[in-house]
Structure 1
Amino acid sequence: MAYELDRPALDTALAKVFDLIEETDAGTDLPGTTRIGVYSPYAGYRFPVYLAIQIEPDDFSEAVDGLLGRNGTPFILLSPTRELCSSKAEKRLTDKRSGFVSLSESVAIGDKRQLRLLRPLDEILAQFRGTNLPPPKEDGAKAFFPTPPDATWGDVSIRFKDGHTVSVKAKSAGGVFNYTQMGMANKKNGDPTVQWELLKTFAEERGILDWSSNKAHRRNQKRRELLAADLRDFFRIEGDPFRLTDDGKGWQARFLISPDE
């Protein structure tokens, strides 16, 4: 009796166990190879994930070459075992900052025939993450904030600890950063930029800045645009972090912000 592999069901199960963002169009023009989802550990970082099931090493090698030729960015390639992935094929992947994962070494069938990981996902992808993700924090320079991939501006909170430091949260991620680490230091003298001062003003005004504030100024329009760009760059969340107030006479932060108390 011959059994046929339910490839869509397998792709879906693997996408779930590897915590991938699923895609509706998983097909590729490479035999035995499907794109099962996107690995997005942080906002702004998205890596395609493929599953290649071949019988012969040469077929697997052709799939590797095909994926490398079609992807301008790093990707992750899953395969049932390591047997078909020669050292040369794996080197071609690592040379392009891509990763290989053997399912037999990483996944097992658990209770109720559900797939489960044999090790934590971060450990399975440790080499890939080390190659493609920045370190969590860089002292004395702009820091990397690990914004969750599904975070919105409504999930962000900023609380000033003092004039130069803030406590930041975005869903499960958090940390304490100064103005330099948030990319708001003057390149000439290292002092806080006007964007940082405006961020402090928004904190003092509890997130709303309009003409009733003694800090209101016609130059704040341009400064707000620059501040919005700095915040988008730091958090890597799309969209404007500010909106017009209901009366159209001021700006309101889409995130929570509060002063040092």
Structure 2
Amino acid sequence: MANERLRDALLRNGLTPEQVANGIGVDPKTVERWITKGRTPYAKHRHAIAALVREAENYLWPNAVAPERATEIGGSEVIKVYPHRNSVPRELWSRLIDNAAEEVEVLVYVGMFLTEDRNLIKIFREKAQAGARIRLLFGDPASREVARRSTEEGIGKNAIAAKIGQALAFFRPLDGVPGIDIRCHGTTLYNSLYRFDDEMIVNPHIYGFQAAHAPALHLRRLSAGDLFDSYSESFETVWKAAKPPKW
């Protein structure tokens, strides 16, 4: 069976089998067999190809890593666990934002703490101009899910919707900036996600707790791991169903 994920990854990155073969030191026919016949490369070649196309090994070859090994690698993707999101050091947020050069992805209902940095609009605009892709997902203030979450936190049915309005007003100057997309979603938010290239802060939600008081995980993507990419895939699923805000 052909490896369509590998084929697609090469096409998206403008790479031919010959270029891949020259880059990792194998015969072009070997690369063709990896694509058309679904053969699995040796580990060293999987690492090299994954790096070339910026995809996880586990995505390109789901069965190549034994489950026990995948579990071990997944644990290594966790850099640190914080008891509360508001205990993540401000210096870490600043480093992640400043160093991001290719991908910035935010999935929240509100993310109001982000608006405390008045330079963030300028920073995101400059990063987009430099070629970064920035995607921001906020809750749909008219959705049942947002109202339910607001009630569950014990702050009133309409409190989170009002906060979303404030957050959208803050980020509205970025609307229409090339490289920056803003959408609203009406999904149940199990985790807030903040991705900066190959690092991510995951804020799992706890029933009855505001997001700032729930735990946070600092992750770093590893080629053969799938923890980081599971959350990234979740972002993509929400993104596809989201719509532009009603400014």
Report the TM range for the smaller structure's normalisation. Answer: under 0.3
Q: Greater relative contact order: 1 or 2 (C-alpha under 8 angstroms, separation 6 or more)?
A: 2
Instruction: Return the TM-score normalized by structure 2.
Output: 0.27
Instruction: Return the TM-score normalized by structure 1.
Output: 0.26
Which structure's residues are more often strand, by fraction?
Answer: 1
